[in-house]
Structure 1
Amino acid sequence: MSFSGEVKEELQKQVAAARHCQIAELASILHFCGSYRAADETYNQDEEKKSSAFCEMLLIQAENEAVIRKCFTLLQKTFNINTSVNEKRVGKSGRPGVNSARIRAYDIELTDPVQIKQVLQATKFMDNEGMLRDMRAPVSAILIKNSCCQRAFLRGAFLSSGSMSDPGKSYHLEIVCTNLFQAEQIQTILLSFEVEARIVQRKKYQVVYMKDGTGISDFLNIVEAHKSLMNFENYRIVKEMRNSVNRRVNCETANIGKTVNASTRQAEDILLLQEKYGFENLPDSLKEMAEIRLTYPDAPLRELGEYLDPPVGKSGVNHRLRKLSELADNVRSQQGINS
């Protein structure tokens, strides 16, 4: 099972104790996966019609069985409605004849007018006069005014339409929405928890997403997926340690490269002075420094200073080598020698 699937399995088992939170989560699932049929006309996410006509059927459908199991549990706990879960085959994935697999969909159908009215009125998709609201319009603010209900709403949203990548590879969490109003409502709720998310259009959908590890960690905490949060943090720790080690290795490699290049350049300058200028013409301090560098070509500056008599520090060694380099450049300039 993918990491995203593990998160959804955990969320499916997480049921809020308070009835108002249960209703908020059920409203979220209906918001993303629900539809109703009234007067022989089906209302879907592309329509903005309202009707006071008799509602014949309430349908909740999803390809992820965890969504339907959670909806079944919420209907039972919140409204004492016991219904059946139907399984259907809605198509095939992959190329025909090549790794082709049946796509399964699961649904719950409510046909009892009393039960439908009870559910739709509680989730604010039907008002007291029996007027139906578009299920893809923003969920009523009354249902999600409390932070606990907002957590439940986000839990239902991710369960219904969310996904995330394997944290061992990359950080990416998203919730796919059918319209901008859905996406903006989720983005606003996340912002109330101080979690920033962005919205991008992908074909006909609006996608709320985050790529920051801290933000994803906060999201898992908000929706109360605590086991998945711990697993995610373990991935983050390993990844951060690996990145830290790589940075240190790269830094040390770069430093070694600089040291080798500098010592090679210093040796070239000293050999030039030995041939074109003569060590006997150098001040005693620079002559000693030149001889020590040629004797220990790979030694770091601090070690070179310990070989001098009397010993000097790293800055003193660097100063003398710089003087030798400047003198070598002057010799090159005077004698027309290319660097």
Structure 2
Amino acid sequence: MSYAAEVKNELTRLPVHYEHAKAELAAFIRLNGILKKIDGEWLLNIETENATIARRMYTLIKRHYEVQSEIIVRKKMKLKKNNVYIIRLRSGSQPILADLKILDGLLYHGGIPKEFKEDDQKARSYLRGAFLARGSVNSPETGRYHLEIYSPYEEHNNDLLEMINHFHLNAKSLQRKNGGYIVYIKEAEKIADFLRVIGAVNSLFKFEDIRIVRDMRNSVNRLVNCENANINKAVNAAQEQIEDITLVDEMVGLHTLPTHLKEIAYLRLENPEASLKQLGELYPDKKISKSAVNHRLRKLRELADTYR
């Protein structure tokens, strides 16, 4: 089961206040409902590929409205051939759509009603319904953090963006090339906050656990890589210094050098793996600084360059 499916399954098990449930139902029907007129009768089909979501929506409808309804299961004929669950309302669909502020007579309301936007709890329920209908979220294990909700209507998409950002989630919106619009969140922390807003607490904990472990592993890898790079750099530098000293020894002999250069030359030859700081601490009389060691080795490099 994908992470997005786990989130949705958790959401279907959440208890919801009687009035707030209407906001969830309104969002789901607006995004996944199809109203048809057949033989003079208006039929409302509400579709989903998730059985637990279909059961939740069917239960919410039966709890709030006295209406003839049924669940039909069909198999898709293309691609994965998943089951499609259709909640069909054979009568009384128009009053329900009017009560949910989706229709005004036969006029369609493009945006989200103020009643749902201006009440925090109803807004949370509406976002939950929208995510159940057309939402998706990447697993945090991929490291590509992305959550989105699709809407075929521009006005509804804009209101959805406003509603999400009311909770300071830094969501953005774009129009898809093949039609419709999406509201999306890219920041890991904001995705976690969105899961908290819609009530997916267990999914939030899993998201954060995976993200923290992943980020810690990445930090450790960066530190190890940096340390390895520093070690390789130091080894290469020491090898070059030994080559310089060897060349000077062959050309004029180390015994001819000034005392301070002769001392550092012998110390480097005797301690090829020592760092500059360690070389400074190996002086018998008194320690010298790392910068002093580096200066003396640079002098040897300049001397060796004159013989190259």
TM above 0.5, yes or no, is yes
Q: How does 1:1-339 map to 2 (within 5 A)?
A: 1-19=1-19, 21-38=20-37, 56-79=42-65, 83-93=69-79, 102-113=81-92, 116-127=93-104, 130-133=105-108, 137-170=110-143, 171-200=145-174, 201-309=176-284, 310-329=286-305, 331-332=306-307, 337=308
SS of 1:91 mapped into structure 2 = coil
Residues 164-209 of structure 1 deviation map (CA, whole Å, 9 limit, x = unaligned): 2222123222222223333322222222111123334242232332
**Alpha-carbon distance, 1:156 to partner:** 0.8
3-state SS in 1 of match to 2:142? coil
Partner of 1:43: none
The one-letter code matched in structure 2 to 1:120 is: L
Amino acid of the structure 2 residue aligned with 1:165: N
How big is the shift at 1:62?
Answer: 1.7
- For the 8 Å contact 2:67–2:89, the answer to whether it is kept is no
Distance 1:214 1:177, change over 3 A: same
Deviation at 1:83, TM superposition (A): 3.5
Q: Which ranges in structure 1 are unaligned for 5 or more consecutive residues?
A: 41-53, 95-101
Rounded to whole Å, the distance in 2 between the matches of 1:125 and 1:208 is 20
| Residues 42 and 94 in structure 2, CA contact (< 8 A), matched pair in contact too | no
Aligned partner of 1:98 in structure 2 is none
Which whole-Å CA distance do the structure 1 matches of 2:47 and 2:303 have between them?
Answer: 83
In 1, are the aligned partners of 2:45 and 2:86 still within 8 Å (CA)? yes
Alpha-carbon distance between aligned partners in 2 of 1:82 and 1:269, rounded to the nearest angstrom: 93
Residues 115-138 of structure 1: CA deviation (Å, up to 9, x unaligned): x244212211233xx34315xx22
Root-mean-square deviation (CA, aligned residues, Å) is 2.2
Identity of matched residues, %: 37
Q: Per the alignment, do residues 138 and 15 of structure 1 end up closer, same or farther by CA in structure 2, a change over 3 Å counting?
A: farther
Q: Paired residue for 1:47?
A: none
TM-score, structure 2 normalization? 0.90
Distance in 2 between residues matched to 1:140 and 1:204, nearest whole Å: 24
The normalised TM-score by structure 1 is 0.83
**Aligned length in residues:** 305
SS of 1:209's partner is strand
CA contact (8 A) 2:68 2:90 kept: no
Deviations 1:55-96 (A, max 9, x none): 6222211222233222112223333657332212232325xx
- Secondary structure of 2:118 counterpart: coil
8 Å Cα contact 2:25/2:60 also seen in 1: yes
One-letter code aligned to 2:185: M
Read off the aligned partner of 1:111 and give its amino acid letter.
R
SS at match of 2:76: strand
Task: Give CA deviations for 1:273-295 in whole Å, capped at 9, x if unaligned.
Answer: 21224323322111100100011
Encode CA deviations 1:223-263: one digit per residue, 9 max, x unaligned.
Answer: 11000000111111110111011101110111111101111
How far residue 9 of structure 1 moved from its aligned partner, in angstroms, is 0.3
2:111 maps to amino acid: P
Instruction: Name the CA distance, whole Å, in 2 between partners of 1:255 and 1:165.
Output: 36
Structure 2's unaligned 5+ residue stretches are: none
Contact 2:30 2:102 survives alignment (8 Å): no
Question: Which structure has more helix as a fraction of its residues?
Answer: 2
Structure 2: distance between partners of 1:57 and 1:260: 78
Which AA in structure 2 matches 1:280? H
Query: Whole-Å Cα distance in 1 between the matches of residues 26 and 84 of structure 2?
Result: 20
Using a 3 Å threshold, how does the CA distance of structure 1 residues 132 and 38 change in structure 2: closer, same or farther? farther
Distance verdict in 2 for CA 1:55–1:188, change over 3 Å: farther
Q: Confirm or deny: 8 A CA contact 1:15 1:22 kept in the other structure.
A: no
Deviates more, 1:288-297 or 1:56-65: 56-65
